[in-house]
Amino acid sequence: MKARKLVALVALVIAVAVPVWAQQQVSEEDYDAAMKSISATVDGVNDQLEAQDAPSVGASGKKFVDAFAKAEAFWKARNEEQATTLSMEALAAARKFQEAGAAGNFDAASTAYGELRATCRPCHMQYRERTESGYRIKQGY
């Protein structure tokens, strides 16, 4: 009986600690790479939607989901509430985009893509600044 309780306690600690540890592992370089992935993916999405290319839209959606999951973890680890919220909204929209696009529901995918894109500007205005080589996180964040 005591062994079961110990195993359950260890499992609980791992279940809580691993996600927190993983969130703290997203470096600024990881975040920057995720943002560059998003930018590169955005470039082809309108053509994919217009061509009604479900496999490509689904693949782009996966790239968005992966990148915005990193963005969410990055901002959560910094306790930056507004950026975390924007990242979570973008991630939710990316998931809808991926699912709808992969299923061939291009109207829903287009709507989700608009929702995703609506999160970009407010986040960039608050947290990102343009440099000669692209963007970086503003000082203080």
The reported pLDDT for the residue numbered 61 is 97
The reported pLDDT for the residue numbered 17 is 45
Which DSSP state fits 138? P
User: How much is the mean pLDDT over the chain?
Assistant: 88
The reported pLDDT for the residue numbered 4 is 56
Entry pTM: 0.80
The whole-number average pLDDT for the span 80-107 is: 97
For helices 106-117 and 28-51, give the axis angle rounded to 10 degrees.
150
Q: What dihedral do alpha carbons 102, 104, 105, 107 form, nearest 10°? A: 100
The CATH number given to 27-137 is: 1.20.120.10
Give the DSSP H/E element, type plus range, for residue 136: strand 134-137
Does residue 13 have a pLDDT over 80? no
Only one residue has tokens 């217009």, namely 50
Report the alpha-carbon distance of residue 111 to residue 117 in Å, rounded: 10
User: What residue ranges do the domains of the chain occupy?
Assistant: 27-137
Residue 20 CA: distances (Å) to CA of 31, 74, 88? 17, 11, 16
Does residue 97 have a pLDDT over 70? yes
The reported pLDDT for the residue numbered 93 is 98
The whole-number average pLDDT for the span 37-63 is: 96
